[in-house]
Amino acid sequence: MKGTIEWQIATVTALRDETSEVKTLTLSLPNWTAHRPGQHYDVRLTATDGYSAQRSYSVASEPERTGEIDLTVERIGDGEVSPYLDDTVVVGDRFEVRGPIGGYFVWDRSIDGSLLLVAGGSGVVPLMAMLRHRASAGVGTPAALLYSARTYDQIIYGAELDMLRRSDGLRLTYTLTRAQPPGWKGYARRIDDAMLREVSANLGGEVLAYVCGPTALVEVVADGLERIGLPAERIRTERFGPSGT
């Protein structure tokens, strides 16, 4: 891994709005190397006066897409880096990145067992890389995604997830914690043990869980998964930020 983490200059080749607060940036990389789904890149922005800021962003795309990566960035209102990436960057801009980084929160087709993915907000990003890889590599691994968002409009990748549900056997469950559209049939509360039990029932094989999102959600879910009987060594977690929401 160490050999691959030289800084390189990425070029922004496409921008896509995912929600009102979330944008996907496609970056073309001169020294692209295949990542393992779940890994991230560091982004380093340097101002003309030399001041620089560095943050980590998970790769959203699958490693089968060569030469480029997608990063999906949620705008944190008073943040230093995310508002710049979401609001200021235009196609053709260049900035430094290094990666892929991380060897623990990763999944690929070589790993046995079924997949239980639990996301809060933008925590869905590395899990999406896993699902895109699973689909693109044609792997039959049973997979379930439990995705907690505040409102329906804040669901990232909604249309693509729905397609994966229909065509690729993904068990997709949403919980909308703040507001629900009329006629909503999904969950409407914070993730709890009963919900975890329901979404993980009959997944088959040995379950491997990946949990990503705000720290508080990750802790509740990891503890809950242990309480419902999943051994700690089969639960992998990634925390995105200090927010307790």
What residue ranges bind ligand FAD (CB under 6 A)? 40, 55-58, 72-74, 76, 78-82, 122, 125, 214, 238, 240-243
Contact 189, 176 (CB under 8 A): no
CB of 125 to ligand FAD, least distance (A): 4
The string of DSSP letters for 8-67 reads EEEEEEEEEEEETTEEEEEEE-TT--PPPTT-EEEEEEE-TTS-EEEEEEEB-S-TTS-S
CB of 244 to ligand FAD, least distance (A): 9
Residue nearest to ligand FAD (CB): 79
Q: How far is the CB of 227 from ligand FAD (least distance, A)?
A: 26
Nearest to ligand FAD of 56, 228 (CB atom): 56
Which helix (H) or strand (E) segment holds residue 224: the answer is helix 215-227
Q: Closer to ligand FAD at the Cβ: 104 or 140?
A: 104
- Rounded CA-CA distance 192/42 in Å is 33
Nearer residue to ligand FAD within complex by CB, 58 or 154: 58
Q: Residue 127 — φ and ψ, nearest 5°?
A: -70, -30
Measured from the CB of residue 240, what is the shortest distance to ligand FAD in angstroms?
Answer: 4
Q: What angle do CA 35, 38, 42 make, to 5 degrees?
A: 70
Report the residue number, 214 or 224, with the smaller CB distance to ligand FAD.
Answer: 214
